[in-house]
Amino acid sequence: MTFNSKTTAFLEWLNDQNVEISNKIEIQDKRNLGQGRAVIAIEDIETDEELFRLPRSMFLNPMNSALIKDYPSAKDKLLELPQWEALILCLAYEWKAKGDESRWKAYFDVLPINDPENYTFDQLIFWSDEEVNDLNPSYIVTRIGKESADSLLSRVRGFILALNISKLQDISQEELHKVAALIMSYSFDVQKEKESDGDGDDEEDEESMEDDNIPVGSSSYVKSMVPLADTLNADTMKHNASLMNHTDCLVLKSLKAIKKGEQVFNTYSEHPNAEILRRYGYVEPDGSAADFGEVSLTLIKDFFAKNTSLSESNIEDIISILCDIQAEEEEEFVLESYDCFASGEVIFELIFTIQLLTVLAGINDETPFNDKSMETKDRAIRRVYKKCYQLLDSGKLTEELKDNLKRILELRLEEYGPEDGVIVELPMTRKVMANVVLQSERKALQECLKGTKLFNSEERKYNFIPDAKLIKNIQKRDIFQEEPSKKQKTE
């Protein structure tokens, strides 16, 4: 079957499933843009217009899969599985075991698993080491998730054996990876019928609603493949329609006016381009609305070791003590990396961590404590922690913090190398997608470096004080003076 004949067969199947589609939209071929199929407005659409209505009976999930009909004894066990494992089993069974006999055959034919000629799986888990290397120095290369995915699929294989699903015992690892990638990209978390209030937005990414590890039977939602809903392309900048939960169906409504000829876009929640590529296998050429760059704790530690009087070992001691404090306070601020947003703002934790280290470096200049005991450091650093927290809480920072943060941002930008213009040709190659990710992160870091919103955002506005003023206040007494031993005290 041709690309267009598959689309026609899919539309006929939707009609047979009692799907209601507005006569103001249609599915069009957008392969020239690297988007496969897309939903396009063929007439002007007003705000809050219903664009399609999908009955729950046509969703593919563990509640209505052929797996529980063909293996009725496995039903209870299937519903005891976590969301991901359960849907992987059901989708794999419909695709590989049922094949042409599956109720969802026409749907599968418009998905990447049955159309390798027109679709590729470009999620990072499918990239070669050489291709992943093109993403350096983005930290996304450390978060691809291959090991966790293999662990998930290993559990799925265990369930196939435990449930004695003979028709799936020969499924390959690559096929299971494709099923999992399809679920990552196309599935929706749908409230169960009895718990839907009829007016809520549907959440479409895997972090929505509640923990995916809760068994399907005990959860308030069920992870589902939703034909037609997943035909919508996603764009954080152009998002103009959303799915709404109703008791017996899902309804797509326009969020704003959509002109004739424009595409109807959903969104995959607020993710930067790097994460969009990792999860869904595409990027937004002009950048995501949620783009950010990152600064690692390793880079921050290296900066202070090379540019201040703090020794490397002392910095490690400081970080260890701060980790103890955050465990006690149940408030994380020592992170592996810190987000720097395209809006020009950075997260509070980055400012707080650099302010702490800046003050401690200033104290070390006056009263060296690199070689003090861990007990002495712990007592003193806790005092500095409290003083810095009070400082930021009052809307103040030190002048040296401003310089150190900007220098750290400059160091991070240097890791990206010279800025080359990104030429985006559609459909995009993996090399181009990698360049788009790097450009998105670079732009975010550059915007933060401008400083316009770095210390003056809508949420927080900071004033600056001399470092010496704060250090003098902290050092009213020598906080790093060794405590006398109990023996000395009694003598």
pLDDT tens, position by position, 207-255: 444 577 889 999 999 999 999 999 999 999 999 999 998 888 999 999 9
Phi-psi region of 233 (alpha: psi -120 to 50; beta: other; left: phi over 0): beta
Classified as helix, coil or strand, 112 is helix
* Residue 73 phi, psi dihedral angles, 5° rounding: -70, -15
Beta strands 249-254; 50-55: pairing state: antiparallel
Average pLDDT over residues 82-87: 96
For residues 396 and 394, give the distance between their C-alpha atoms in angstroms, rounded to a whole number: 6
Q: Write down the residue that tokens 């003193």 correspond to.
A: 380
DSSP string, 423-491: ---SSPPHHHHHHHHHHHHHHHHHHHHH-TTTSB-SS-B-EEE-HHHHHHHHTTS-TTPPPPPHHHHH-
CATH number of 292-475: 3.90.1420
Answer whether residue 422 shows pLDDT above 90. no
Tell me how many degrees the CA angle 59-61-63 measures, rounded to the nearest 5.
105
Per-residue pLDDT tens digits for 381-395? 999 999 999 999 999
Answer whether residue 374 shows pLDDT above 70. yes
Domain with CATH 3.90.1420 in the chain: 292-475
Answer whether residue 489 shows pLDDT above 50. no
pLDDT cut 90: percent of the chain above it: 82
Average pLDDT value for the chain = 92
Per-residue pLDDT tens digits for 100-119? 999 999 999 999 999 998 89
Residue 110 and residue 78 in contact, taking contact as beta carbons nearer than 8 Å = no
With cut-offs at 50, 70 and 90, classify the pLDDT of residue 479: confident
User: pTM surpassing 0.85?
Assistant: yes
Domain with CATH 3.90.1410.10 in the chain: 3-192+211-280
CB atoms within 10 A of CB 372: 19
Closest to 459 in 3D by CA, of 345, 377, 359: 345
Closest to 240 in 3D by CA, of 52, 54, 46, 55: 46
| Sequence letter at residue 61 | N
pLDDT cut 70: percent of the chain above it: 95
DSSP string, 250-281: EEEEESS-B-TTPBPEE--SS--HHHHHHHHS
What pLDDT is attached to residue 98? 96
For residues 251 and 243, give the distance between their C-alpha atoms in angstroms, rounded to a whole number: 5
| Sequence letter at residue 355 | Q
For residues 164 and 72, give the distance between their C-alpha atoms in angstroms, rounded to a whole number: 12
Burial status of residue 249 (CB atoms within 10 A of its CB: 0-12, 13-18, 19 or more): buried
For residues 487 and 491, give the distance between their C-alpha atoms in angstroms, rounded to a whole number: 6
Between the CA atoms of 162, 166, 172 and 175, what dihedral angle is there, to the nearest 10 degrees? -90
Per-residue pLDDT tens digits for 166-223? 899 999 999 999 999 999 999 999 988 764 444 444 444 444 445 778 899 999 999 9
Closest to 27 in 3D by CA, of 38, 19, 42: 38
Phi-psi region of 99 (alpha: psi -120 to 50; beta: other; left: phi over 0): left
Residue 281 and residue 268 in contact, taking contact as beta carbons nearer than 8 Å = no
The Cα-based distances of 246 to 32, 55, 62, 249 in angstroms read: 35, 9, 20, 5
| Sequence letter at residue 408 | I
Average pLDDT over residues 298-309: 98
Answer whether residue 140 shows pLDDT above 80. yes
Does domain 3-192+211-280 match CATH 3.90.1410.10?
Answer: yes
For residues 137 and 412, give the distance between their C-alpha atoms in angstroms, rounded to a whole number: 9
